[in-house]
Amino acid sequence: MSEHAPSQPAAPDSATGQTSWRTASSAYHALFADRQPQGPVAGEIWTLAATTPTPDQPLVIAIVTRADSDAVTVVPLSAQTLRATEWDLEIPGAVLGYATVAQVKLAGTITEAQLRERLSSLPPAILGQLHELWDCAEQGASIPPEHLSVGPWVLDEADERLRARAEDARSLARYLHPSFESPFSQWETFGSILLRHSRAIGVDLERLIDPAWALKLAADRLDLYSNVPARRLAALLADLHIGWSECVKDALYRVTIERYTGSEVLRGAALGRRQGKRRAGARAKPSGEQREEAAGEYVDAVEKALSEL
């Protein structure tokens, strides 16, 4: 009988998502327990080569989140932890020996042939958080749940972390096919801008605007033109301390076009004018030109109302 019983690996702290060196080491060695060749498995951390590798091109470190017969989905890792945003999951230093963040918005697909070396594996608690953050990004959530270990929110389009994310996206184009159409999609929507600022100042949207509108407004599902007069929206922007930037203006224009239903009855109210008479009969679906006209009118009316506050 051995004098020393095998020590048990320490369990991850479920409250913080942290893990010990012993846990990470055990997970790493478990990967190589079977000497038979294995394909990539979700949660494993690999180095990967560019799609057309050259001798001087560095390898990228990424987490495998899914492995199919024709493609492998990965989330790249970055050691630039100070650049982390709400879409970057913090990975404990014990996993690789140094702190990193998983850049979920920069995820993409590669071929299995690009995988070079298996380095480690995420503890189950961290892998669960990664999947949850991925689901939020895929569903278009404005802000991930507060319990996830992520970086600070982005509140301004001038935030240096957005520029850094754009640079990383350009670099990663040589390695993977992006899973998300835009690395900034959650930041650029009008509802996201409102929600982020309301959370930042600690005031719920329901306290500043009709509760029946608030949830739809934050999710970009509300026809603003037909429901929220320009003066009321201008007052909301002022209450949330949101400046009238090109980013805000463009986001408002896009959501107005997308959700405009063609209500002529509320046209005057939306633009701060006297309402006209209701027209009889069913209203036809608005054309693209009508949507653009309505969106332009509404944005101009909000801008005018802001100047008068």
Cα distances (Å, whole numbers) of residue 276 to 38, 115, 194, 270: 71, 65, 31, 12
Looking at residue 280, its pLDDT comes to 43
Distance CA 220, CA 235 (A): 18
DSSP 66: E
Looking at residue 55, its pLDDT comes to 85
Give pLDDT tens digits for 3-41. Answer: 433 333 334 444 444 445 455 555 555 555 555 557 899
Q: Which residues of the chain have pLDDT under 50?
A: 1-19, 21, 265, 268, 273-282
Distance CA 230, CA 237 (A): 11
Helix axes 190-200, 211-218, angle to 10 degrees: 110
Residue 63, beta-bridge partner list: 45, 75
Through-space distance between the first and last CA atoms of the chain, rounded to whole angstroms: 83
Looking at residue 54, its pLDDT comes to 87
Looking at residue 183, its pLDDT comes to 81
Domains of the chain: 21-182 (2.30.30.110), 189-307 (no CATH)
Which structure tokens are listed for 107?
């995820």
Note whether 90 and 19 are within 8 A (CB): no
Distance CA 96, CA 104 (A): 18
Residue 102, beta-bridge partner list: 77, 89
b (16+ CB within 10 A) / e for 45-62: bbebbbeeeeeeeebbbb
pTM for this prediction: 0.69
